[in-house]
A = this chain, B = another copy of it.
Amino acid sequence: MARGNLCSQCAVRGSALCCALSPEQLAAFNRISYRKHYPAGRLLSHIDQEDRFANVISGVVKLTKALPDGRQQIVELLFPSDFLGRPFGAGGYAAEAASAVELCCFGRRQFENLMHEWPGLKQIFLERTLDEIDAAREWMLLLARKSASEKVAALVLLILRRMQVGCDAPTAGPRTARFDLPLSRSEMADYLGLRIETVSRQLARLRKTGVIEIPQGRTVVVRDLAALERMACDLTPGR
């Protein structure tokens, strides 16, 4: 729990909610926030229970919903600069660190008050929330209508896009890329509405057709990005 970090030097300064804050506001925000590290697999539910919210600084967080009988579904993946928490209401999700995670934490009430004091903050929070709805609906389309192979291709593409933001952002992305999946096969299945074996088989299929390589467990090399986009029925042209 390291306080004293300077928000102005934060890795997600320009992309998280805080990008809407003036220097003075940022200084005020700096005073009420603190950083915290979590290992992969750690439950973050206490974040909600202790009335805390957070920004993801590094790593990936998964939000899951479950049925009483154990069936479960990841309903969102949070990447660096994403917001974690459910203001003005309950929630009902479980949050868990999918990889090692660094969070920027702050009090629920404090944040809600700041939103009322600083209209710019509420505005950008609202816009992000609307974007989240768009993303959720896009995923509904995937869950309901896409085949297993389309689903897996779409997920690889999603991770590729979200991970390479920040590291390097060439105007026109490269046609090939290498990265590590932040999810286990089981988590991929939980996000895609599939079984782990199906995910494995579809990844093998992508590998056999030369679209990707999997030199080692979680490492993926995209050989043919265009083909991957085609297979994913991707509609969002390189954001």
Chain A positions near chain B (C-beta within 8 angstroms): 63, 65-69, 71-73, 75-76, 86-89, 91-93, 116, 119, 122-123, 125-127, 129-134, 136-141, 143-146, 192-193, 233, 235
Q: Which residue of B lies closest to A129 (CB)?
A: B129
Whether the Cβ atoms of A144 and B141 lie closer than 8 Å is no
Instruction: Count copies of this chain in the complex.
Output: 2
Task: Report if A130-B92 is in contact (Cβ < 8 Å); known contacts: A73-B140, A140-B73, A144-B73.
Answer: no
* Residue in contact with A137 in the complex, picked from B76, B131, B145, B146, CB distance below 8 Å: B76
Q: Is the CB of A140 within 8 A of B138?
A: no
Beta-carbon contact of A89 and B130 below 8 Å: yes
Known: A140-B139, A144-B143. A68 touches B126 (CB 8 A): no
Report 24 cross-chain contacts, Cβ distance below 8 Å, ordered by A residue: A65-B137, A65-B140, A65-B141, A67-B235, A68-B235, A71-B146, A72-B145, A73-B141, A73-B144, A75-B141, A88-B127, A88-B130, A89-B127, A89-B130, A91-B134, A92-B134, A116-B119, A122-B126, A129-B130, A129-B133, A133-B133, A136-B136, A143-B193, A145-B193
**Chain B residues near A139 (CB-CB < 8 A):** 140
Contact yes or no, A73 B145, CB < 8 A: yes
**Lowest 9 CB-CB distances: which A-B pairs, in order?**
A144-B193, A75-B137, A136-B136, A143-B143, A71-B145, A143-B144, A73-B141, A65-B141, A73-B144
Does B88 lie within 8 Å of A138, measured CB to CB? Answer: no
In the bound assembly, the distance between CA atoms of A71 and B68 in angstroms comes to 31
Known: A116-B119, A119-B116, A193-B145. A131 touches B89 (CB 8 A): yes
